[in-house]
Structure 1
Amino acid sequence: MKQFFLPLVFLMIIIFPAAAQQEYFFPGNKSLSEEIPSPQEFLGYEVGEFHTRHDRLVAYFEELARVSNRVHIQEIGKTYEQRSMIVATITSEQNYNNLETIRQEHLQLIKQEPSLPSLDGMPVIIQLGYNVHGNEPSSSEAAMLTAYYLTASNDLEVLRYLEEAVIFVEPVLNPDGRDRHTNWANMHRSFPPVADANDREHNEVWPSGRVNHYWFDLNRDWLPLVHVESKARIDFYHRWYPNVVTDFHEMGTNSTYFFEPTKPFGSENPIIPRSNYEGLNNLLAPYFAGAMDEIGSLYFTKEVFDNSYPGYGSTYPDIQGGLGLVFEQASSRGHLQESIHGDLSFAFTIRNHLVNSLATVKAAVENREVFLRHQKEFFESAITQAEDHPSRGYIFGDAGDSNRIRAFMDLLLRHKIEVYENNRDLIAGNRRFEAGRSYFVPGSQPQFRMVASIFDTVTQFQDSLFYDTSAWSMVHAYGLPSATLNKSQVRTFNRGSRIDSTFMEPGDLSVEKSNYAYIFSWEDYNAPAVLYKLQQKGILTRVAYKPFSIKTVNGEKEFSYGSIMVPVAIQELSPEELYQIMREVAVENRVPVEAVTGGFSTTGVDLGSRSFEALEKPQPLLIIGKGTSQYEAGEIWHMLDSKLKMPLTKVDILDFSRLDLDRYNELIMVQGNYNLLDEEDVQNIKAWVEKGNTLILQKSAVTWAINNKIIAEELEVKKDTATNGETTVRRDFETAEATEGAKIIGGSMYRVDLDITHPLGFGYKERELIVYKNNNTLLKPSKNPYSTVAVYKENPLVSGYVSRENLEKIPGTASTLVSKAGRGRVISFIDNPNFRGTWYGTNKLFFNALFFGQIIKVPNIAN
């Protein structure tokens, strides 16, 4: 049925529910058991008539499990808002009774054990995943229909599916986001539905249902594993290693339908074998085309979407010997919306995803041995590919920051990567790695391709257009010193014991009692959490502006810029009460705290020096709402919640004018359009800063502050060398997308020189820092020579794509600077230090802005 007949189809469904709906979704099928309730029978309304809440979706799957031995439900986790994350196992009764045996035999394909089981009779593992973006809701409705069909049908073809496959259905990957959008769509639904795209139903308020509780895009989180949903999902994934994994989405209303293959070569990850793209993708495409042709739906392939970034739900399986598949359906963004193809109904979008769900199962079963053999050969070839790779192994470590190491180790272990202790001091990549405090990751292991994805840097690409980031080297995101090892280094490497989950368990951490002062280093990632806990309890703290050495109970210790000193005598608490708190926060956050018996330093400043500055407790305010980036706002909210346990006041931009700004000492503005702030708001912000407060800006907010004369800084505008500044170059029309797209800095990693003596640089040991840049804004260094905290180095590119013209513009521009404004200051981050919640390496810049912003005094320049 063609799309321009959709309004009639929608009305027919409403007027003739029982017959029309069944025939619409399962035309001509007479073998559906009446003992199995259909979704519409269970829900009390027709599929597509309303958006189904998450709890009702879960209830329907539980009902299927209650009435049929084909379906079994398990909860794999809970979201932040305590919604259940379920997976339904759909298979034959015989398979389910032997499920653990099936799992263990399947895992032998990955483990490369000597006695591999026969592929004859081994079920193929299929994982159907739906609705990772909550406001792309049609797929979860299709999930119910898919499960219903596989449960109720007695067709011989379906019985074969159940015998030859174990099918996992995860109906909602983002329950919190789904319910946010579901409530929006249902509360604004009209009777009859309004197709006008301007109607409120089709235009969500901020934040959208796309994101999870903390406003993150979970479809970017399969690699970094920041969130509880992703961690639960990846733990389940590695119990099974599915052969085929689906990832159902929606796109613009005026589009049609997309299924793989994606754009050849340009959108593909070069570390994945060509057999994945040329073999499996092309093998399955005719199944999807046939399913869409049968119902007359338009579609396209091979043009867009990205298979390179390993953190998507449709790409992570490719690095695990499976096949990830992305599907994109034009969205009704409600129940009925006008489009260039006619009125697009919710029911229609659901049906397209339904037929491709069933086509996936059919294709996987009919090519069962192909997929099983591919997975076996995939992990075999990983070892071979590792032997040919320039890097035979990797070493990393940071003696001063065990908590950042622990966080990175957790990431590696969750991705099933082998890691070993380093048993001897080693020089590699012009770095010294200490025995017992650094770690070795061999390339030669089944997860080699995951290892390379996490450690390698790439700067050569076949395409200049990226749907998303072009750099994902996680060891650099964590800011960890690391080096590659060549063949001879690996051959002679003295590896220690293999790291396992016990590494994550708390170790012994003792804190001695002091009657004079306690000191802890700011190098540790968890040091800010310790400081904030102390501030919450009203404990006075001071920060060292200069390094020093001092005798502690445990011997002489060196302390660098940013070390925190807690004097004993000036506190309102007794020495015993203070000791109990210091011990509690140190153990809780695994941060070493040293006790000193006196204030005389062996080198550097004494503890009573004016180089120790008293700290003020942060009282931050974050502007959110229309025009601001929900991603960047969510990253800050999540970081303060999860890393610091710091309450964050989030105020909608529309409510800003009613605020008493004097309640706060720090105002945060992320990437966004701040045109909703009027002139009075701007002047209030300016006056508030000049009274002695701190304004923290990210990306385009810096431009806003410059344009509104809050800071006297300048943007850097450099001409393209390719055109010598001329704009009249003539080009063919069809090259426009590639030419203009290549000018965008979509996401890549760069080296900056960081002033580690500046309060924003406290806690860093090395001046070279790697930052993530995904914008084209360039900022001139400040005219005040002491205010440019981080500047891009010559030859700054570390990993990712950037055009030659853009790369030539970046060196010498500012990444971070501090501007004086009366008695206050404005901290400008031209790059996002908290990108996707996983940039541990630059989070400290933002922590420093929070904790030290109020004590930064921009030096005056002598005339």
Structure 2
Amino acid sequence: MFKHRNQFPKYLGISRHLSALATCALLISSVIAVLGSQIAMAVESDLSYLPEGQNYDVNIPKPADVLGYPVGTWHVRHDQLINYMRALDEASDRVSIEVTGYTHEQRPLVLMTITSPSNKANIEQIRQAHIDRLAKGEAAGSEDPLVIYMGYSVHGNEPSGSNASLLVAYHLAASQSPEVEKLLSENVVLLDPSLNPDGLSRFAQWANMHKGYNLVTDPMHREHREHWPSGRTNHYWFDLNRDWLLLTHPESKARIHQFHQWRPHILTDFHEMGTDSTFFFQPGIPSRKNPWTPETNVTLTNALGQFHAQALDANKELYFTEESFDDFYYGKGSTYPDAHGSIGILFEQASSRGHAQESINGLVEFPRTIQNQVTTSLSTFAGALANKAAIAAYQKQFYNDTQKLIDDDDLHGFVIRATKDLTRFDRMLSILDAHQIRFRVLSDDAQLNDTEFTKGNSVYIALDQPQYRLIRSLFSERKRFVDNTFYDVSNWNIGLAFNLDYYAVKQSERRKIKTTDEAWNVESLRGEASKISSQAYAFAFEWHSANAPAMLQDLLEKGVQARVAGDGFSAKLIGNNSSSESVHSFAPGTVMVPVGLAQPDGLITMLEKAQQQFDVKVHSITSGLTPTGIDLGSRQFAPVLTPNVLMVGGVGTSQYDMGEIWHYLDTRVGLPATLVDLHNLDTLKLDRYSHIVFSSGRYNAVDKKTTDAIEAWVKAGGVLIGQKSAVSWFAKQGWIDNEVLSSEAVEQSFPVKGLQYKDRQDLASKKRIAGAVFTANIDLSHPLFFGYERDTLPMFKTSNLVLKTADDPFVEIANYVEKPLTAGYASDEMESLVSKTAAVVVKPMSEGAVIGFVDNIHFRGYWDGTNKLMANAIYMSPLL
């Protein structure tokens, strides 16, 4: 099974534990081997899934006692799952349950702690002692517990994991067998029964509503073909398994907090895959491991894998390993632990996507999928017990090896500077803080590589800290890799994502960096709030802050009449001291509220509350006559009205891309956008809407009547916005003048002469841009880039869409630089094709405009450097 068994090192006493490993394997085989023949569609009992001879405590309720039916009969909803786990908490002295947060839909996120009663009575002391050992780089002793974190179903339509969690929790709470009592007396099990409650409930409803008395196994049956959006995603249609590092959502924030509270030795991540697959467990493809993950991690994962293999062999289940999946992106559940000295393990079960479905391997039945997740949950415990000494010692070795990497590194740390958008910078720091990455504020200015990092306004992230590997990952600009095939993205550089100036400080330069013990204080940098004067001629706030769009939206909804500045100007201000007066320079894009227009009652109070809520300073201007630049009555001050935005989603569009747009407008801007299915677009009266947004999707089936209506709407003053493949569709309609590079032209850049069949995957990888950073030059004078400070912008590219230039600088307002690849992998051929092509186009069309973003400006809610382009496309559009 393991292709590198001959390279298996005798590390940390693994060889000493082979006899224990074999003994535990035989035990697991003996108790599980009988299960295969017992599981059928008509599940008679929850105990059918579990080993015999457990002497289960009759006072502990089985799942069926609370659900009303055995596990696997129906898909469990999240509320049912939580009700059962709370029943276990009530009945068992081994179990405690904690609410760690809430989802967007206000479902509770829970973490169960399952251990012996004596451990439970001292659980905080056990946790703290474990954390203290990690901090000192000490190995756990033989009497110290392992912490094993069991996480289930981060994808809601991969439900076998969460359904299995019911049985695993019951087994641990009720079994009085010697092996379970030993497991719990010597270790602590943390059980997260549902990593994605909103998605799980959505899918359970879908699967259950289509189940009849007679199961339909036809893959084309509606039960097996979810409608848009699928239950895989959370409330905003994000893939939560990509959010462990980015922390866009409450589910991830709560989970990462608990991870660092406990720092488990092992973390499992139970998934499902295609129905025609079998079962997968890690390790994944050896060459696709993150370079900052130690080889010992793979060694231990292999050791645990022997237990999964023996348990699945006993049930005669097909499985595979070291294939298909990788361990590169640190933002996934099975890889985030690897950056912390934990062992993350991915399990993938062929999915029934309902209750029963035909496959090339026979009938895939829901109970059978649950069985395999139960089986490998128990084999994880067995493997952990057999390898306990090696696993405990690994965290000490990880600490020591990390310190050696720090000592040998040519870099000392990274300095990063805030911009005028302190809100964006503060959010970046909050992500670092959540990952327990320490940073200090500069106490003196530092001149590095022609960039001045100013005291109090810049922070320093030293590499000499436990999170060294994660920091190196977060600031990586690596472009070439041992294996260029990526299951996910190849870069997630946080400095580039937030469009910030940063610099890698060499060991020889570290004396240039002076820091203070004082904490980062964003409020002191913003300064005191302005006193909003009733004597003002007008009020104004600038557009730099990420919160400025939300503040403008709030004021517009309250009836405030506002104008946006098409050019810069200076104005005399009323200071906080009534006798003081100053002159302030305002940048293009500044929002001005004229007092002389019909404004709602209580305008002063509205502005005061908005200034406090959004942390955007409001200035009181004394006169419409400005010392420099446009006057306040200039035609270049364009009225901005409350936008009415239409988002086109549904079947044929990307749920991920549209979810990211919705999430940004809803949670960051506070804009209530209308969502309509693509197939209903032809039924709408478009004149109701000011803006229409298309995400990536397939639009060739949209009929001419609808495209004619859209074009007429734009010409009448509408603003059409699209990204990725929507831009290609815009080009085909003639709504933009730029031509999309054809797939044939891309193919011609990759000659196949001399290649063999085995080279096909490598060739496909070269043609694919799966997630890398490309830099574009941007036109700061264009309204779409108002609020930006630098004339280059890192953009995240997730496709090989190339938009040719039409040599019109008034339309092509962002073009990729000559050598655009900045971080992550793209082949030389693809980088050459992207070089100097268009990244953002804005084409006026009569009274309206068409805006095209070649790439995803909201990537996973993390790419804050480009997030604001959507707000600019909406609120700055009157200037177009």
TM-score, normalization: structure 2? 0.92
Residue 85 of structure 1 and its aligned partner are, at CA, apart by 1.1
| Residues 83-111 of structure 1: CA deviation (Å, up to 9, x unaligned) | 11111111001111111111111111332
| Residues 707-757 of structure 1: CA deviation (Å, up to 9, x unaligned) | 233333311349779x86586625322221221132111110011000010
Report the equivalent of 1:550. 571
CA distance in 2, matches of 1:558, 1:630: 42
Gap change, CA 1:620 and 1:86, over 3 Å in 2: same
Residue 430 of structure 1 and its aligned partner are, at CA, apart by 2.4
Report the equivalent of 1:337. 357
Report the equivalent of 1:861. none
CA distance in 1, matches of 2:817, 2:60: 66
CA distance in 2, matches of 1:12, 1:209: 25
Gap change, CA 1:118 and 1:704, over 3 Å in 2: closer
- Which residues in structure 2 correspond to 1:315-330 (within 5 Å)? 315-330=335-350
Residue 560 of structure 1 and its aligned partner are, at CA, apart by 1.8
Residue 507 of structure 1 and its aligned partner are, at CA, apart by 7.8
CA distance in 2, matches of 1:678, 1:749: 35
Identify which of 221, 236, 242 aligns with 1:220. 242
Q: Percent identity?
A: 39
Given the alignment of the two structures, is residue 106 of structure 1 paired with residue 130 of structure 2, yes or no? yes
Preserved contact between residue 723 and residue 852 of structure 2 (Cα < 8 Å): yes
Gap change, CA 1:159 and 1:474, over 3 Å in 2: same
CA distance in 1, matches of 2:625, 2:446: 36
Task: Between 634-643 and 375-384, report the one with greater CA deviation.
Answer: 375-384
Task: Between 401-410 and 604-613, report the one with greater CA deviation.
Answer: 604-613
Report the equivalent of 1:663. 688
Given the alignment of the two structures, is residue 700 of structure 1 paired with residue 725 of structure 2, yes or no? yes
Describe the SS at the equivalent of 1:604: coil
CA distance in 1, matches of 2:771, 2:865: 16
- Which residues in structure 2 correspond to 1:64-143 (within 5 Å)? 64-112=88-136, 119-143=141-165
Gap change, CA 1:789 and 1:289, over 3 Å in 2: same
CA distance in 1, matches of 2:619, 2:312: 68
Which residue identity lines up with residue 240 of structure 1 in the other structure? W
Report the equivalent of 1:536. 557
Given the alignment of the two structures, is residue 244 of structure 1 paired with residue 271 of structure 2, yes or no? no
CA distance in 2, matches of 1:508, 1:211: 42
Describe the SS at the equivalent of 1:356: helix
Given the alignment of the two structures, is residue 781 of structure 1 paired with residue 802 of structure 2, yes or no? no
Task: Between 699-708 and 99-108, report the one with greater CA deviation.
Answer: 699-708
CA distance in 1, matches of 2:60, 2:306: 31
Given the alignment of the two structures, is residue 632 of structure 1 paired with residue 657 of structure 2, yes or no? yes
Which residue identity lines up with residue 666 of structure 2 in the other structure? D
Which residue identity lines up with residue 516 of structure 2 in the other structure? G
Which residue identity lines up with residue 790 of structure 1 in the other structure? A
Q: Which runs of 5+ in 1 are unaligned?
A: 857-863
Residue 126 of structure 1 and its aligned partner are, at CA, apart by 0.6
* Aligned pairs, number: 842
Preserved contact between residue 193 and residue 335 of structure 1 (Cα < 8 Å): yes
Given the alignment of the two structures, is residue 161 of structure 1 paired with residue 186 of structure 2, yes or no? no
| Residues 383-415 of structure 1: CA deviation (Å, up to 9, x unaligned) | 331232233111112241111111111111111
Report the equivalent of 1:837. 861
Gap change, CA 1:650 and 1:726, over 3 Å in 2: closer
Given the alignment of the two structures, is residue 560 of structure 1 paired with residue 587 of structure 2, yes or no? yes
CA distance in 1, matches of 2:600, 2:54: 78
Preserved contact between residue 6 and residue 343 of structure 1 (Cα < 8 Å): no
Report the equivalent of 1:296. 316
Gap change, CA 1:11 and 1:71, over 3 Å in 2: closer
Given the alignment of the two structures, is residue 744 of structure 1 paired with residue 768 of structure 2, yes or no? yes
Which residue identity lines up with residue 86 of structure 2 in the other structure? E
Gap change, CA 1:97 and 1:81, over 3 Å in 2: same
Given the alignment of the two structures, is residue 346 of structure 1 paired with residue 370 of structure 2, yes or no? no
Residue 524 of structure 1 and its aligned partner are, at CA, apart by 1.3
Which residue identity lines up with residue 68 of structure 2 in the other structure? G
Preserved contact between residue 795 and residue 857 of structure 2 (Cα < 8 Å): yes
CA distance in 1, matches of 2:285, 2:758: 16
CA distance in 2, matches of 1:17, 1:387: 60
Given the alignment of the two structures, is residue 807 of structure 1 paired with residue 831 of structure 2, yes or no? yes
Residue 269 of structure 1 and its aligned partner are, at CA, apart by 0.6
Preserved contact between residue 446 and residue 512 of structure 2 (Cα < 8 Å): no
CA distance in 2, matches of 1:59, 1:593: 49
- Which residues in structure 2 correspond to 1:438-517 (within 5 Å)? 438-497=458-517, 499=519, 508-513=528-533, 514-517=535-538
Describe the SS at the equivalent of 1:603: coil
Preserved contact between residue 795 and residue 811 of structure 1 (Cα < 8 Å): yes
Preserved contact between residue 443 and residue 455 of structure 2 (Cα < 8 Å): yes
Preserved contact between residue 413 and residue 500 of structure 1 (Cα < 8 Å): no
Which residue identity lines up with residue 836 of structure 2 in the other structure? G
Given the alignment of the two structures, is residue 206 of structure 1 paired with residue 228 of structure 2, yes or no? yes
Report the equivalent of 2:795. 771
Preserved contact between residue 253 and residue 331 of structure 1 (Cα < 8 Å): yes
| Residues 631-689 of structure 1: CA deviation (Å, up to 9, x unaligned) | 11111111111111111100111222221111101000000012442221111111111
Report the equivalent of 1:603. 628
Report the equivalent of 1:733. 757
| Residues 466-503 of structure 1: CA deviation (Å, up to 9, x unaligned) | 11111111121111121111113223421112537998
Report the equivalent of 2:617. 592
Residue 596 of structure 1 and its aligned partner are, at CA, apart by 1.9
Task: Between 385-394 and 180-189, report the one with greater CA deviation.
Answer: 385-394
Residue 372 of structure 1 and its aligned partner are, at CA, apart by 2.3
Which residue identity lines up with residue 543 of structure 1 in the other structure? V
Which residue identity lines up with residue 189 of structure 1 in the other structure? K
Preserved contact between residue 139 and residue 393 of structure 2 (Cα < 8 Å): no
Describe the SS at the equivalent of 2:425: helix
Report the equivalent of 2:10. none
CA distance in 1, matches of 2:135, 2:449: 32
Describe the SS at the equivalent of 1:432: strand
Gap change, CA 1:249 and 1:92, over 3 Å in 2: same
Report the equivalent of 2:196. 174
Describe the SS at the equivalent of 1:712: coil
Gap change, CA 1:718 and 1:740, over 3 Å in 2: closer
CA distance in 2, matches of 1:675, 1:100: 59
Given the alignment of the two structures, is residue 48 of structure 1 paired with residue 75 of structure 2, yes or no? no
Preserved contact between residue 6 and residue 344 of structure 1 (Cα < 8 Å): no
Residue 67 of structure 1 and its aligned partner are, at CA, apart by 1.4
Preserved contact between residue 693 and residue 854 of structure 1 (Cα < 8 Å): no
Report the equivalent of 1:860. none
Preserved contact between residue 35 and residue 50 of structure 2 (Cα < 8 Å): no
Given the alignment of the two structures, is residue 405 of structure 1 paired with residue 425 of structure 2, yes or no? yes
| Residues 192-217 of structure 1: CA deviation (Å, up to 9, x unaligned) | 21111011110001000000001110
| Residues 323-368 of structure 1: CA deviation (Å, up to 9, x unaligned) | 1110000101011100011111011111111111111122223322
Report the equivalent of 2:703. 678
| Residues 431-478 of structure 1: CA deviation (Å, up to 9, x unaligned) | 112211111111111111121122222112111211111111112111
Q: Which runs of 5+ in 2 are unaligned?
A: 1-28, 576-581
CA distance in 2, matches of 1:505, 1:253: 55
CA distance in 2, matches of 1:841, 1:162: 47
Preserved contact between residue 654 and residue 676 of structure 1 (Cα < 8 Å): no
Report the equivalent of 2:50. 26
CA distance in 2, matches of 1:726, 1:411: 40
Which residue identity lines up with residue 693 of structure 1 in the other structure? G
Which residue identity lines up with residue 704 of structure 2 in the other structure? E
Preserved contact between residue 817 and residue 828 of structure 1 (Cα < 8 Å): yes
| Residues 525-563 of structure 1: CA deviation (Å, up to 9, x unaligned) | 111111111211222222222223333234332222212
Which residue identity lines up with residue 316 of structure 2 in the other structure? G
Describe the SS at the equivalent of 2:344: strand
Preserved contact between residue 559 and residue 600 of structure 2 (Cα < 8 Å): no
Q: CA RMSD in A?
A: 2.3
